[in-house]
Amino acid sequence: MIFSRQRTVLPGFKLTLGFTLFYLSLIVLIPLSAIFFKTATLTWAQFHEVATSSVAMASYRLTFGASFCAAMVNAVFGLIVAWVLVRYQFFGKRLLDALVDLPFALPTAVAGITLARLYADNGWIGHWLTSVGIKVANSQLGIFIALTFIGLPFIVRTIQPVLEDLDTEVEEAAASLGASRWQIFWRVIFPMLTPALLTGIAMAFARALGEYGSVIFIAGNIPMKTVITPVLIMGELDVFSYAKATALAVVLLVISFILLLLINLLQWWSSRHHAHL
């Protein structure tokens, strides 16, 4: 038996591993398998009809589009924020650094109603934007703003440690060989940050795909226009069509698993990349 041949004097292996597997199965694996059993009660034609209906397709386009745009905007600003927080000294830096995690700590419902009020037509930011003809509340732009809010820490917190560990000697070498600061950034620093940046983008994107609480209030949930996939699932549940809800959930779940795999690959690449430096 592999399990009984432990070359250590420490006790508790069977107890702790047993409890871990029991709890994991009870809370995660068994309930999760229910979704696939439920889908199996649908025929392929039924599943196909639900998963590719025009409402569902519209929700995928919106969810993916908004999540992607939010992740990209966060990539640009997150990189700048991480750079500034690591490299520069200025008043209030530590406060800003701690605040970056706010979207993790603030419950999504609170973030949702706050953003919805700020960007409402009569809100603090909303009334300025309305006066120049930009409508955020109850529009796809609102969804993008909510997803940008929740995705921000992922990018900053994945780039920050890599940037902190970066050896300035490489930059000094490049500078002594005559490279300009801009060349050093693009040719030397940026390539070293790429794996972390891509990991952060993938994490922010994956989180945005499943996001619910911060989006529903600002989105207005107008059919075919501002309904994201999780809201569509919720709508099916409200009318007790569990099979339809499950079919949509399976689509979301499979995409999440693919992204999880991608993130793991990126992190593996990132750590290898890092080890070479």
Partner 1 sequence: MPISEPAKTMSTIPTQPNPIAAPRRATMEPPWVRRLLIGITVGFLGLFLILPLVSVFIQAFGKGFEYYFKAIADPMALSAVKLTLITVAFAVPLNCLFGVAAAWAISKFNFPGKTLLITLIDLPFSISPVVAGLIYVLVFGAQGWLGLYENADHPWFPAFQSWLNDHDFKIIYATPGIVLATIFVTFPFVARELIPLMQAQGRTEEEAARVLGASGWQTFWHVTIPNIKWGLLYGVILCNARAMGEFGAVSVVSGHIRGQTNTIPLHIESLYDEYNFTAAFAVASLLALLALVTLVLKTWAEHKRNAALKLASE
Does residue 171 bind partner 1 (CB under 8 A)?
Answer: yes
Residue 61 touching partner 1 (CB under 8 A): no
Distance separating alpha carbons of residues 81 and 269, to the nearest angstrom? 24
CB of 193 to partner 1, least distance (A): 14
Nearer to partner 1, 7 or 276 (CB): 7
Q: In sequence order, what E strands does the chain have?
A: none
> Among 143, 153, 162, 158, which Cα is nearest to 68's?
143
- Reported as half-sphere exposure (CB side, CA atoms, 13 A), residue 42 has a value of 21
Residues 86-105 vs partner 1: string with x where CB under 8 A?
A: xxxxx-x---x-xxxxxxxx
Question: Could you count the other beta carbons within 10 Å of the beta carbon of residue 37?
Answer: 9
Q: Within 10 Å of residue 230's Cβ, how many Cβ atoms? A: 20
Among 40, 48, 61, 80, binds partner 1 (CB under 8 A): 80
Looking at residue 149, its amino acid is F
Rounded to a whole number of angstroms, the minimum distance from the CB of residue 4 to partner 1 is 11
Does position 158 interact with partner 1 (CB under 8 A)? The reply is yes
Q: Does 28 bind partner 1 (CB under 8 A)?
A: yes
Distance of closest approach, residue 77 Cβ to partner 1, in angstroms: 5
Least Å distance between CB 23 and partner 1?
5
Instruction: Read off the tokens for 55.
Output: 């409402």
Q: How far is the CB of 140 from partner 1 (least distance, A)?
A: 18
Least distance from partner 1 to the Cβ atom of residue 269, Å:
13
Binding mask 7-26 for partner 1 (x = CB under 8 A): -xxxxxx-xxx-xxx-xx--
Q: Decide whether 80 or 134 has the Cβ nearer to partner 1.
A: 80
CB 218 within 8 A of CB 137: yes
Q: Is 143 in the site for partner 1 (CB under 8 A)?
A: no
129 touches partner 1 (CB under 8 A): no
Asked if residue 164 binds partner 1 (CB under 8 A), the reply is: yes
Contact with partner 1 (CB under 8 A) among 60, 67, 138, 211:
211
Q: What is the CA radius of gyration of the chain?
A: 23
* CA gap 183, 186 in Å, rounded: 5
By CB under 8 A, name the one of 58, 66, 209, 227 that touches partner 1: 209
Asked if residue 207 binds partner 1 (CB under 8 A), the reply is: yes
Sign, Cα dihedral of 153, 140, 138, 133? positive
Applying CB under 8 A, the site for partner 1 has a residue count of: 107
Q: Contacts with partner 1 in 214-243 (CB under 8 A)?
A: 217, 230, 233-234, 237, 240, 242
Kindly state the greatest CA–CA separation across the chain: 73
The DSSP symbol for 57 reads H
CB of 207 to partner 1, least distance (A): 5
Distance between CA atoms of 234 and 255, rounded to whole angstroms? 18
Residue 22: helix, strand or coil by DSSP? helix
Three-state secondary structure call for residue 172: helix
